[in-house]
Structure 1
Amino acid sequence: MLQYVTTVIDYDAEIERILGGPPSKLAFRALCAALVRAGSPAGLVSLCHERLASWPDRMREAPWSWLAALEAGHTKPTWELVRSLQLRSARTGILDAALPDPRSRSEVRGVTHLDLGWYASDRLAALVETMESWEDLRSIQVGGLTDMDGALLTRLAGRAALVRLESLDLVSVREDMWHFKKPPFRPPGGQAWRLRHAGLRAPDLVHLMRSGLVPDLRSADVLVCDFGEARDLAGCAELARLERLSIGFRCGKNGRQPLWKPYFGNVIDQDDEACEAFFACADLASLRSLTVRGTAMGLGREGLGARGIDAVIGSGVLRQLTELNLELLPVGDAAISGVLESLDRGRIERLKLADLVATDVTAAAFAAAGAFPRLRHLDVSRNHLGAKGAQQLAADVRMPVLEHLDLSGREGGSPYYGRPEVQPVGDAGAAAWASSPNAGTLTYLNMAATGLTVNGLTALMTSERLHRLGGLDLACNPVGSWPAHLRDAPVWRTLRTVDAADCGLGDDDIEALATTVSAPCLHSVSLAYNTIGPRGARALAAWAALPQLWELNLHDNVLGDDGLTALASSGAAQRLLELDLEQDCWNAHARGNATQSPALLLDRAAFPSLDAIFLGIVDEYHDARYSSGFPSPSRQELASAPTTRPELAAFLTHLDVEQLDDDGDDADTEGSDDERAEYDFRTERAVRHAEFIAVAQDFARRMIEGDIGWPPPLTSDTS
C-alpha cells in the first residue's frame, strides 16, 4: 500500500488567511474546501457568513463543477455560502450544467447572481418557469439569444419578479450580430423596477427608459444596429443619469479578410455615421465610464473608425471620465493620440486601448502626455507596440499608482490550430518594465505573446522593483528554458499566479522551477502545452510549493502513467482544487483513447480538496472529445457508482458522449504516429515563434510608415 506524505493543516488559520486576502472566485472555492475538510463546524461557518458579507457576491461563485456534482447527487454544506452560479463549462466536449430548481434544491436559494452562459435558451426557459422561487435573485446574465427566442423573452418580460432585479444582461457588446437578429424585450409599464444595470438592444433600452420602469438605471450595455436607433437612443433624456455606458455599433458588415495574415481591419461607414449621430446629441452629463467596442474579423477588426473616434472626442465626454475602454476598432495611432490628448489625465483611473492597431507612435503620444497620476489599470494589449514603445511607456510616462499592466499580444488559442499575433515588445521591453519607476506598484503584469525569451523572463523574475507583483502571464512565448538560478528570484516573494503555458519548457526546466523553495503566496500555476514528462511530473510532486497550490494546469503535456502516479502518490497537493490533465488528439505522445487512467487518480487521499478534474483526449479544432481517461465500461461504472468522488462524477456525467471513442482499439487515436509527430506543434515550435515575431515586427513597421495596404483590390485573394 502506498503511504501518502500529507501536510497537517490548521484550518482556522487557513480560513483566516483566505478571508484576509483579496477576494476571488478561486479563493472562495479554497475557503469552502477548507471548511469542508475542517468538518464545517457551526462557529467557522458563522464566521465565514459574517466575513464574506464584505466580498462581492460575484466572487462567491459555485463553478460549473459544483453544479455538475450537484446534478450527479453530491452536495456539500458550504452551498449556503454561495451567491453566484456559473453554468457554462467552457471545456471541450463537456456539457453545461442545468439550472437547478430552487423549489427542490435548497442549496441555491441564497443565490443573487446567475450567469446562464451563451446560447442558453433551455436554461433561460427553466429560469422563467421558476422565477418567483429565486427570492434573492438580483442579477441575470445570458448571451447569444436569437430571434428564435422571441416567445421566451415575451414570457420573461411578463414576470413580476423582474421588479426585484438590479442587473439584467440580455445582450453583450461582445456580440457581433452577424448571424442572428435579437428578439424584442418589452416589459409592460407599471411598478418601477430596482434595475441599476441593463444590457439590451437600443430599442429595448429606449423603451425601458421612456416607460419610467428604470428610474434608478445608472449603467447600460447597448447594441445599436442602425442610424435611427442611434438617434432615438441619443434623444433619451434619461441618459443623463448614466454613470457607465458600454456601446457597440453594429450598423453594417464587411467581412473581408486576408487568410491568416494581420491586417488593419474594416472601417464600417454606417457605424461611423451612427456614432456621430449618437455622440452629437446624447446628454451624458453623469458619465464616468465609457466602453466602445467593435468586433473581431480574422486577424483584424471591424467597426467604426477614425470618424467615430472624432465624434467621441468632439462630444467632450472624455474629459469627465475616470474609465475609458476602446477595443477591436480599426482606428490606428492618429485617432488614439487624439483620445490621449482629450482625456483629463489627472482624472483617468482605468484605460483600455486594446486591438486598435496601435504602434510605437501611440507610446510616443503617451510620453508626450507625461503623467497619469491616478491611472491604476492600463491595457494596451493586442496592438503592435515594439521594444521602443514598451521602453517609452516604462521610462517616459509617470504612472505612480499603476497596478495592472497588460502588454500582451493575441494568444491565438490552441497552438495546434491557432496562431498567436505577437505584440513584439520582446526582452528589451520586459527589461524596461523590470527597472521602471512605475513597476513598484504593479500587482499584475501580462506579457503573453510578446516574444519573450529566457532573457526577458530573467529580467522580470529578478527585478527588485516588482516587489508587489501578484500575477505574471508569460504564455505563448519562446522562453525555452527556466534557469535554476531563478529559484531565489525576488518576485517569488509576492507571486500568486504564474502562467507559463506554451513556453517551450521540458523536464529540465520543471526540475529547475521545482527547486524554488519559498513562494509563500503562490496559488495558481499553468504549465499547459509544454513538454513535461514523467521526470518533470516527479519534480512537481516534490515541489515545496505544491502543497499550497489551489490550481494546477498541466493540459496537453506528456506525463505518462509514471508521471500521473508520481503526482497522485505524493499526497502533497492537499489544497489543490482544480487539475487539468487533458491532452489534444494531435499530441504525438497522447494516451490512447481507451487507456485507463492510473487508479491512484481516483483515490481521495491523492487530492483531498479537489473540486474539478479534467482527463482524456480532446480535439480542440472540432470542439470534440474522444475519451474520458477511462475505457467505456470503466467510465460507465464510475459515472453511476455512489462511491465515485464528486468532482470525477461531475466530469464523467457531463461528457458529450456523441463523439466519445473510448471503447475502441488504442490504434484508433487520431492520425498515425508519423502524422501526429509531424503535426504536433512542438516539432517546429522555435521556428514558428520566430516567424510570428518577424510577421509582427514587419506589420508594425508598415503601420508606422502608413502602408496600411487595406482594403485590397476586389480581385485580390481575400475571403
Structure 2
Amino acid sequence: MYTAPVDDYGIDRILAGPPSKIAFRALCAAVDRAGNAPELIARCDQGLAAWPDSVREAPWSWYAMATLGHSKATWPLVRSLDIRTQRCQMLDPPFPDPRAQPEVRQVTSVVAGWSPTRRSSLAAITDSLAHWPDLRAVGVEFLSEHDDEQVARFADHEAATRLESLSLLDLGDSLLHSGLPTFRPPAGRPWRLRHVAVSGADLAYLLRSGLVPDLRSADVLVRDLDEARGLAARPELAQLERLGIGSRCGWNGESPLWEPFAGNVIEQDDDACAAFFAAADLSGLRELVVRGVELVLGRVGLGARGVEAIVACGVLGRMTALTLELLPIHDPTIALVVGSLDHQRVESLTLADLVATDRTAAAFAAAGAFPRLRHLDLSRNNLDALGAALLATEVDLPVLEHLDLSGRGVVGSYYGNAVQPIGDKGVSAWANSRNTRNLTTVKVSLCGLGVEGITALLTSTTLPALTTLNITGNLCSGWPAALRDAPVWRTLRTLDLTGTGFDGEEISALVLTAEAPELRSVLLDYNSVGSGAALAQWPLLPQLWELSLHDTAIDDDGLRALAVSGAARSLLELDLEQDCSNRSARHTPLPPEVIERSAFPSLDTIFLGIVDEYHGARYRSGFTTAIRERLTADPTTRPELLAYLVHLDLEELNDDAEWETKVPETDPRAQRLTNHRMGIERAREFIRHLHT
C-alpha cells in the first residue's frame, strides 16, 4: 500500500484547489516527484473525477516526448490532448494512433493544428477513429475546400457518429484566402453531436436530414444571402441553446497600419444578418455569439443595420449570455443592444472590440442594475476614465466576478497596439467600487495605467476574492516597495506583468513580497530582470508553477542562479525565447546549467532561441549547431529539451551566424515613458474624433 507523505508534494492541496490546465500539469509534476506509484495515480484519478475533461489536458510537449519514447507515468490522468505547438517554426508531431500509443486511449478530446503535414491530420483521425474508445470531441484547424475528400471520408466513418463535439472551423476565420470544407454525412445514421462548427449550409443540411437530434450548440460561418436564408428556414434551429455566427459575405481589408481605425462595414453581411434573424426560429436560444474579423487596428463585418436586425427580432431579451465582438458598430447601436437585454436575466456580457466609448458606459448607467451579471468584458474599446468610473459607481453589479477593460494589441515592445485609456483615475474608481466584493478576475491590460492606479488596485480593501490580476502593457517603472504587503497578496494566484517596463529595480521591489499563499503564476514577459539573482532568492519562487520570461532580458549569471538555487523546483515551463527586435536578445549559447536534469526538476515544456514574431520565423535554437546536434543525439538529454530540439523547423535556422551586438539608440526607460504617453494621447485623440 502506498504510504508516502504526498502532502509534502502539495498533491492534496492541488486536488482541493480550483481546476485549471496549469493546476493539472502541476499535479502531474508533483505525482512524478513523489515517485509515480500506481496507488497514488489511482487516487489522483478519483480526485480528478469532478474536474472537467477540458482542463485535464496534455500539452503539446507531453505528446512530443511520448513520440520520442519518453512517456510520462501520469498519462492515465489525461483526458484532453492538444498537439499544436503554436510557436514560430515548430513542427507538430504526427497525429497519435491509439493502437501504437496506448497513452492516448483514454482521451476524450483531441485538437490537431497547423503543421507541414496538416492535410494528413484529419486522415489520421479517420484511420484510427475506431480505436479511440472514449473520444467524444474532435477539432481540426485550417481546413478548406481542398480537404473535402478527407472530410467526406471522415463523415462516412461509423465511429464518428459517437462524437458529441466536432469543430471544422473557427468562428474568427476570415475566409480571405480559402473556402470552407463541405461536411455532409450520409443520411440515415444519426450522430450524437451536441456541438458542431461548420458552414451555414452544412448546418442546414444536418438539421434538415435529422442527423443531429441532440444538437444544442453550433458555430457557423455564413457566406452569402442565400445561405443565410436557407439556414433560417430550418425549424430545427429552435432546439439550439447556443449559437455562434459570423457573416463572411464580403471583404474590405483596407486599414491604416498604425492609426486607430473604426473598421469597415460590409453591406452584404448586414443583408445576410437581417435575413437570418428576421426568419430564424431561435426560441430555445440562451447564448448568442456574433463575431466579425480583426484588421490591424480595426475590424470588419456587419454594422449597425445588421445588429439592429438582431435587436428587432427580440432574441436578446431571452439571452443569459451575449457576445458581440470585432464589429464596426458605435455607441448608439451598442446602447440599443444594452437596452434590449433583460437586465434581470443576463449573466455574461461581452461587448469587445467594437467602437464603444464612455457613451456606452452611460447606457449601462441608465440601465441601473444587472443583478445576475457575473462576466463583463468591454475590452479593446475606447473607454476613458469617465466611462470606467460610471461603470464602477453608477451601475449595480452585485455578483460580478470577471471584469475586462483591457486595450487592444500584442503586449510587446515592437508591434502596434491600441490603449483603452481609462488611466489611473478610471482604475482607482474600480479599486474603491462596491461592485468588487465578488471579483476574482480583473484585466486592465493596455489601459494607460501608471504606478498610481496599479497601487490603488493592489492596496484596495474591497477585493477580498481577487485571484487573477492582469496589468500588462502598463508602465510600472518604480514599483513601490510599499506594495510588499498589499492586501491582494492574500488571495492572488496569477499576476501578469507582461511588458510593464520592469527592470532590476522593479524586480528587487517585487521580491520583497514574502507572503502570498495562493500565488502560482507570475508573468514577466517582454521585460528585463537585470541580473536575475533577486528572482532566484525570492521566498515565493518555490511555490510558483509559472514564471514566464518570454523575450525578457536576463544575463547568464541570473539564469545560472535560477537553475542551481533549487528554489524553482515547481516551475512547469521554461520559456526563454527572445524576439530578434529585442536589442538585449541573447545571441550566445545558453549556460549549460540551465538544461541539466537537476535544474527546474518539474519542467514539462521548454522553448528557447531567437524568433521573429512578426514574420513567424525562428533564427536560432539557443545553441550552436554542434551543441544542438550533440544534445539531440545524447540519450541523457532531458526529454523536455529533446522534444523542443527534435521538432524545430530547421528551414531558417542559422545557429552559427555572427550577430552584431545592438546598442540601444535611446535610454530604454525614457523611450518606454515616451511611448506610453504617446499611446494614451493617440487613444484619446481617436475618442475625440469619434465624438465629432
The two structures have a TM-score, normalised by structure 1, of 0.93
Q: Give 1:633's match in structure 2, choosing from 618, 621, 626.
A: 626
Task: Specify the code of the residue in structure 1 equivalent to 2:438.
Answer: T
Q: Relative to structure 1, is the Cα distance of residues 126 and 413 closer, same or farther in structure 2, using a 3 angstrom cutoff?
A: farther
Aligned to 2:376: 378
Task: Specify the code of the residue in structure 2 equivalent to 1:332.
Answer: H
Q: Give 1:144's match in structure 2, choosing from 117, 142, 145.
A: 142
Aligned to 2:317: 319
Partners in 2 of 1:439 and 1:121 — Cα distance? 48
Q: Confirm or deny that 1:696 pairs with 2:689.
A: no
Partners in 2 of 1:339 and 1:679 — Cα distance? 47
Shift of 1:237: 0.8
Q: Give 1:663's match in structure 2, choosing from 656, 666, 678.
A: 656
Aligned to 1:15: 11
Partners in 2 of 1:154 and 1:191 — Cα distance? 15
Aligned to 2:529: 532
Partners in 2 of 1:228 and 1:412 — Cα distance? 37
Shift of 1:287: 0.4
Partners in 2 of 1:697 and 1:637 — Cα distance? 55
Give secondary structure in 2 for the equivalent of 1:209.
helix
Partners in 2 of 1:479 and 1:551 — Cα distance? 21
Aligned to 1:244: 242
Task: Specify the code of the residue in structure 2 equivalent to 1:425.
Answer: I
User: Pairwise mapping of residues 615-630 of structure 1 onto structure 2 (< 5 A)?
Assistant: 615-630=608-623
Shift of 1:522: 0.7
Partners in 1 of 2:232 and 2:433 — Cα distance? 43
Alpha carbons 2:297, 2:417 under 8 Å: kept:
no
Aligned to 1:37: 33
Q: Confirm or deny that 1:550 pairs with 2:548.
A: no
Give secondary structure in 1 for the equivalent of 2:417.
coil
Q: Identify unmatched segments of 5+ residues in structure 1.
A: 1-7, 706-719
Partners in 1 of 2:6 and 2:130 — Cα distance? 42
Higher RCO, Cα 8 Å, sep 6+: 1
Q: Give 2:71's match in structure 1, choosing from 71, 75, 80.
A: 75
Task: Specify the code of the residue in structure 2 equivalent to 1:466.
Answer: L
Alpha carbons 2:114, 2:142 under 8 Å: kept:
yes
Q: Confirm or deny that 1:400 pairs with 2:398.
A: yes
Alpha carbons 2:411, 2:499 under 8 Å: kept:
no
Aligned to 1:565: 560
Q: Relative to structure 1, is the Cα distance of residues 288 and 559 closer, same or farther in structure 2, using a 3 angstrom cutoff?
A: same
Aligned to 2:386: 388
Shift of 1:151: 1.2
Shift of 1:412: 2.6
Alpha carbons 1:414, 1:620 under 8 Å: kept:
no
Give secondary structure in 2 for the equivalent of 1:326.
strand
Q: Give 1:226's match in structure 2, choosing from 224, 227, 237.
A: 224
Shift of 1:112: 0.6
Shift of 1:9: 8.4
CA RMSD of aligned residues (A): 1.5
Partners in 1 of 2:345 and 2:17 — Cα distance? 28
Give secondary structure in 2 for the equivalent of 1:478.
coil
Partners in 1 of 2:295 and 2:25 — Cα distance? 37
Shift of 1:582: 1.8
Shift of 1:13: 6.4
User: Pairwise mapping of residues 277-426 of structure 1 onto structure 2 (< 5 A)?
Assistant: 277-416=275-414, 418-426=415-423
Q: Confirm or deny that 1:451 pairs with 2:452.
A: no
Task: Specify the code of the residue in structure 1 equivalent to 2:491.
Answer: T
Shift of 1:628: 1.6
Alpha carbons 1:588, 1:680 under 8 Å: kept:
no
Aligned to 2:44: 48
Partners in 1 of 2:121 and 2:668 — Cα distance? 38
> Sequence identity, in percent?
55
Aligned to 1:266: 264
Alpha carbons 1:361, 1:704 under 8 Å: kept:
no
Shift of 1:680: 10
Q: Relative to structure 1, is the Cα distance of residues 679 and 626 closer, same or farther in structure 2, using a 3 angstrom cutoff?
A: farther
Shift of 1:659: 1.3
Aligned to 1:712: none
Partners in 1 of 2:651 and 2:121 — Cα distance? 21
Q: Give 2:105's match in structure 1, choosing from 102, 109, 114.
A: 109
Partners in 2 of 1:385 and 1:215 — Cα distance? 44
Q: Relative to structure 1, is the Cα distance of residues 679 and 629 closer, same or farther in structure 2, using a 3 angstrom cutoff?
A: farther
Query: What are the superposed Cα offsets for residues 180-222 of structure 1, whole Å, 9 maximum, x if unpaired?
Result: 0112111101221110000000111111111111000000000
Partners in 2 of 1:623 and 1:109 — Cα distance? 33
Task: Specify the code of the residue in structure 2 equivalent to 1:108.
Answer: V
Q: Confirm or deny that 1:212 pairs with 2:210.
A: yes
Shift of 1:616: 1.7
Q: Relative to structure 1, is the Cα distance of residues 26 and 381 closer, same or farther in structure 2, using a 3 angstrom cutoff?
A: same
Alpha carbons 2:53, 2:80 under 8 Å: kept:
yes
Shift of 1:178: 1.0
Q: Confirm or deny that 1:500 pairs with 2:497.
A: yes
Q: Give 1:652's match in structure 2, choosing from 628, 645, 650.
A: 645
Partners in 2 of 1:248 and 1:482 — Cα distance? 43
User: Pairwise mapping of residues 674-693 of structure 1 onto structure 2 (< 5 A)?
Assistant: 674=662, 677-678=664-665, 684-693=671-680
Task: Specify the code of the residue in structure 1 equivalent to 2:614.
Answer: Y
Alpha carbons 2:62, 2:72 under 8 Å: kept:
no
Give secondary structure in 2 for the equivalent of 1:477.
coil
Aligned to 1:714: none
Query: What are the superposed Cα offsets for residues 529-558 of structure 1, whole Å, 9 maximum, x if unpaired?
Result: 112221xx1111010110011111112222
Task: Specify the code of the residue in structure 1 equivalent to 2:584.
Answer: H
Alpha carbons 1:89, 1:96 under 8 Å: kept:
yes
Partners in 2 of 1:125 and 1:36 — Cα distance? 34
Q: Give 1:89's match in structure 2, choosing from 62, 85, 88.
A: 85
Q: Give 1:643's match in structure 2, choosing from 620, 636, 652.
A: 636
Shift of 1:480: 1.6
Aligned to 2:467: 470
Partners in 2 of 1:346 and 1:327 — Cα distance? 23
Partners in 1 of 2:578 and 2:608 — Cα distance? 8
Partners in 2 of 1:305 and 1:697 — Cα distance? 23
Task: Specify the code of the residue in structure 1 equivalent to 2:404.
Answer: D
Aligned to 1:59: 55
Give secondary structure in 2 for the equivalent of 1:637.
helix
Q: Confirm or deny that 1:28 pairs with 2:15.
A: no
Aligned residues: 687
Aligned to 1:711: none
Query: What are the superposed Cα offsets for residues 570-607 of structure 1, whole Å, 9 maximum, x if unpaired?
Result: 11011110121122223222222xx2211211222221
Shift of 1:415: 2.2
Give secondary structure in 1 for the equivalent of 2:563.
helix
Deviates more, 1:144-153 or 1:444-453: 144-153
Q: Confirm or deny that 1:609 pairs with 2:605.
A: no
Alpha carbons 1:93, 1:656 under 8 Å: kept:
yes
Query: What are the superposed Cα offsets for residues 648-683 of structure 1, whole Å, 9 maximum, x if unpaired?
Result: 11111111111111133xxx22xx445x63499767
Q: Confirm or deny that 1:584 pairs with 2:582.
A: no
Task: Specify the code of the residue in structure 2 equivalent to 1:554.
Answer: L
Shift of 1:115: 1.1
Alpha carbons 1:11, 1:35 under 8 Å: kept:
no
Give secondary structure in 2 for the equivalent of 1:77.
coil
Partners in 2 of 1:242 and 1:133 — Cα distance? 31
Give secondary structure in 2 for the equivalent of 1:487.
helix
Shift of 1:310: 0.8
Deviates more, 1:296-305 or 1:342-351: 296-305
Aligned to 1:5: none
Task: Specify the code of the residue in structure 1 equivalent to 2:439.
Answer: L
Shift of 1:118: 4.2
Deviates more, 1:477-486 or 1:356-365: 477-486
